[in-house]
Structures are given as C-alpha cells and as structure tokens.
Amino acid sequence: MPVDESNLLTLTKHDPVFLHVKAGMTVIVSNPVNQAWCMADVLEVNKASHDTKTPLLFQVAEVDSGVISWINPERVTHIVPRL
C-alpha cells in the first residue's frame, strides 16, 4: 500500500516530537520507570496559557488497555503515521 508522504512530518535535529502532536494522533509513549512503552491515542493537548505553542500535558488513551491518563509531553517518543 503506498504511503501518502504529504502527511509525514519533517523534524529538525533539535525539534522535539511533542511540539507536533495534536489531538486525534496516535503516539508511542515511553515509561522511564520500567523502560517500557505503549501506543496511545491523544485525546487532548493542554497548553500553557502564556505560551500556546508549548504543551503542558497530553491526555491519552492506551490502545491496548483503554486506560486514560495525563502524561508529560516529553514521554512521547514517536508519532505513528496514518496510512
């Protein structure tokens, strides 16, 4: 199946992944405590009132378990592309 390259993100070396995350995307979330990861759907992006470009928290739903939680944006390691 061909991939629609217009939907792919181009990140610079110093550009954090979490700056490109929007509600409705699927992301990979790392867990620094036990070195595990999970796939999650982003439900909401909570941004700082003084800086609307920097997210404070993401509300995500884990794909496998359905558990909904708020996470630190820096835990997002990858954005899963849509096909």
**Structural domain contains residue 54:** yes
**Structural domain contains residue 58:** yes
CATH of the domain at 72: 2.30.30.140
**Structural domain contains residue 38:** yes
pLDDT category, 8, cuts 50, 70, 90?
low
Q: Whose structure tokens read 């929007």?
A: 22
pLDDT tens track for 35-74: 999 999 999 999 876 667 788 999 999 999 999 999 999 9
Q: Give how many domains the chain has, as a whole number.
A: 1
**Structural domain contains residue 41:** yes
Please say whether the beta carbons of 36 and 55 come within 8 A.
Answer: no
- Can you give the pTM of this predicted structure? 0.78
Strand order from edge to edge, sheet including 36-47: 68-71, 55-62, 36-47, 26-31, 76-80
In this predicted structure, the answer to whether residue 82 has a pLDDT above a threshold of 70 is yes
What's the pLDDT at 10? 55
Q: Note down the domain range covering 53.
A: 25-80
**Structural domain contains residue 67:** yes
The DSSP line for 42-77 is: EEEEEE-SS-TTSEEEEEEEETTT--EEEE-GGGEE
